[in-house]
Structure 1
Amino acid sequence: MTITEQQNVYDGIEPFPREESEGEARPQGWQIVATAVIVAFPFVAVVLAAVVVWGHLLGTADVLIAVALYAVTGLGVTVGFHRCLTHGSFTPTRPLRIMLAVAGSMSFQGDVIGWVATHRRHHAFTDRPGDPHSPFRFGTGLGGQLHGLAHAHVGWLFTADLTPAEAYAPDLLADRDMRVVSASFPALCLVSLALPFGLGWAIGGTLHDALTALVWGGLVRVAVLQHVTWSVNSLCHMIGVRPFRTRRHDRATNLWPLALLSFGESWHNLHHAEPTCARHGVDRWQIDPSAGVIRLLEMAGWATEVRWPLPDRIDRRRIAQSP
């Protein structure tokens, strides 16, 4: 049964057909090991952070380095990988496009071409057969949703359901700059850890300072950002409010507690209602730091053709509230 046929019979309640995978090739052993190392980061970070805190070895420099690198790599994902490269919310200059792709790659969330292809596929089949990380893959019963939540958060990374970049990101495959950045992903991950180590040593002057900066500005920072991003895949399809209409079966929600940490990505319901919109938090008091950065880039002339929300279009998507 093809993906289209499966979607035609999917009722939004039952588990997805088991044969719905688009990818035929299974991950190679080294890919599974690499993924496991990346996913294990949170546990390594927690253990090392506990040791550091226990010894009272958290300094101001460690916090500043961690926050700065969290912002750089996080915005690389949200402004770069997501709003720019996946959805074309704005047109960047070539240097900005490369810088955003490099910054996003330093988040340990996969190479830029693979990330974009997977996310485009998620939008093509949101919460239906074909979605690589829907929390409703195993049905809408309690057991199925718990299983699905784990799958959407991290389990999907270990499946054989591979997304072909040729089908979902041909524009990036045709871009030499993006191919180079994509191939450089392992090296950029090393840079992402070397930076806090080097900054800690430069600021504190000792190996001890370098190691504590590596723990907080490297491991802990990567772990937190990974789980915030993965929470948009999982929690932001199960918990929260849905003020805007989306396509059939699409259950994307707005989850305000994650707004600041995700740089505005957790206004996920509006994003699925208007995927190309450069601003996700369109209502009053909805914090969207990524949109603020895009506005600054536009003012500097580095981002053009920005797709800002159109009030009439947004209002048409809004679900009328009962009096």
Structure 2
Amino acid sequence: MTEVDENPTPRRKTISNPYIHRLQRRHFLLFDVLPIIGTVAAFAFLAVRPFGVVEFALLFAMWLVTGLGVTVGYHRLFTHRTFKAAPWVAALLAILGSMAGQGGVVSWVALHRRHHEFSDREGDPHSPNLSGGGFTGAVRGLAHSHFLWMRRHEYPNIVHYAPDLIKDRKLVRVARLYYYWVALGLLIPTVIGGLVTMSWTGAVSGLLWGGFVRIFLLEHIVWAINSFLHMFGTRPYESRENSHNGGVFALVTLGESWHNNHHAFPDSPSFGLDWYRLDPGYWLIRTLAATGLAWDLKVPTTARMAAKRVA
């Protein structure tokens, strides 16, 4: 008879080894540093081709669809399961989120779930509040949480943090093609820019503005939520961490800047919570629900919100 170990080794929550760290450095250079270089190149290329309607349209459209892929797909659907969606909608959101260059969907979800588990405490991958006190500590914390933490960090064990996602074969197939989706997100504005202008300068300009500048802008918008909004803003609801709302940034963040609201009610697909608080991510979810492509929206009740509201 096989003996059963009465004290099995607990599953490791994080993984840290040289191979993982090499992958992190490569991703940091390709998708965090390279967009900075690409943005500088875009401004230098203005000497060859001025910024015009085509460049603005590609920048705005690619920012919007990939940003919605992150906030509605990566964040509200896959991380927090705030609603359910038709399989093809879920796959499309995962692909659009992947084009943002912020990591594969399974890894992103695992990191964000760990952030919520340890938010602003030891174990949080990107808290700005764990680097000491005073002005120096605040600056060091902001630099870490906004950008530098991605160079090297403990990798959340996806078996622990995302078991539901790794059981979804379609989603895993999307995640495995992450680098191809990022490349597609660069190719689309390049091709459109070239075809619309019928010139090589239009293609290069499309790549720079609809590709690299778009990635750069979206990344820093998302990172600012993890950095600045864990130090500054309003706190209408009780929450155990230092999250804040930044309502003035609601549109540019597609609703993500209602960060205190989100941490207080992480199971809510609405981050604004009230109709008058701008939340484009929730507008998309409501549109999907109206067409039968999304359902089971878990919006908190008025009584639940009132119970958590800071007096």
User: Taking structure 1 as the reference length, what is the TM-score of the superposition?
Assistant: 0.89
Measure the CA separation in 2 of the matches of 1:95 and 1:300.
Answer: 14
> Which residue of the partner structure matches residue 309 of structure 1?
300
User: Which of 24, 38, 43 is the matching residue for 2:16?
Assistant: 24
Measure the CA separation in 2 of the matches of 1:303 and 1:45.
Answer: 37
User: Is 2:152 the partner of 1:159?
Assistant: yes
Check the 8 A contact 2:126/2:226 in 1, yes or no. yes
Q: How big is the shift at 1:30?
A: 4.4
User: Is 2:126 the partner of 1:133?
Assistant: yes
Q: How big is the shift at 1:139?
A: 2.6
Check the 8 A contact 2:24/2:151 in 1, yes or no. no
* 1:68-122 C-alpha deviation (Å, 9 max, x unpaired): 1111100000000000000011001111110110110000000000000000010
Measure the CA separation in 1 of the matches of 2:85 and 2:222.
Answer: 23
Percent identity between the two aligned chains: 37
Q: State the AA in 2 paired with 1:300.
A: T
* Alignment map for 1:1-323 (pairs within 5 Å): 22-26=14-18, 27-55=20-48, 57-247=50-240, 250-283=241-274, 285-320=276-311
Relative distance call for 1:217 and 1:312 in structure 2 (3 A) is same
Check the 8 A contact 1:42/1:224 in 2, yes or no. no
Q: Once structures 1 and 2 are overlaid, which stretch shifts more, 136-145 or 198-207?
A: 136-145
Measure the CA separation in 2 of the matches of 1:274 and 1:140.
Answer: 29
Measure the CA separation in 1 of the matches of 2:135 and 2:67.
Answer: 32
Q: State the AA in 2 paired with 1:123.
A: H
> Which residue of the partner structure matches residue 4 of structure 2?
none
Check the 8 A contact 1:244/1:317 in 2, yes or no. yes
Could you list the structure 1 runs, at least 4 aligned residues long, displaced by more than 2 angstroms after superposition.
21-31, 52-56, 139-142, 282-285
Q: How big is the shift at 1:55?
A: 4.4
SS in structure 1 at match of 2:15: coil
Check the 8 A contact 2:247/2:258 in 1, yes or no. yes
Q: How big is the shift at 1:24?
A: 3.0
How many residues are matched? 298
For structure 2, the 5+ residue unaligned runs are 1-12
Measure the CA separation in 1 of the matches of 2:305 and 2:23.
Answer: 45
Measure the CA separation in 1 of the matches of 2:299 and 2:114.
Answer: 23
For structure 1, the 5+ residue unaligned runs are 1-20
Q: How big is the shift at 1:268?
A: 0.1
Check the 8 A contact 2:237/2:264 in 1, yes or no. yes
> Which residue of the partner structure matches residue 7 of structure 1?
none
Q: How big is the shift at 1:260?
A: 1.0
Check the 8 A contact 1:228/1:258 in 2, yes or no. no
Measure the CA separation in 2 of the matches of 1:47 and 1:185.
Answer: 25
Measure the CA separation in 2 of the matches of 1:314 and 1:242.
Answer: 13
Q: Once structures 1 and 2 are overlaid, which stretch shifts more, 263-272 or 146-155?
A: 146-155
Measure the CA separation in 1 of the matches of 2:192 and 2:289.
Answer: 30
SS in structure 1 at match of 2:92: helix
User: Taking structure 2 as the reference length, what is the TM-score of the superposition?
Assistant: 0.92
Q: Once structures 1 and 2 are overlaid, which stretch shifts more, 105-114 or 202-211?
A: 202-211
Q: Once structures 1 and 2 are overlaid, which stretch shifts more, 47-56 or 66-75?
A: 47-56
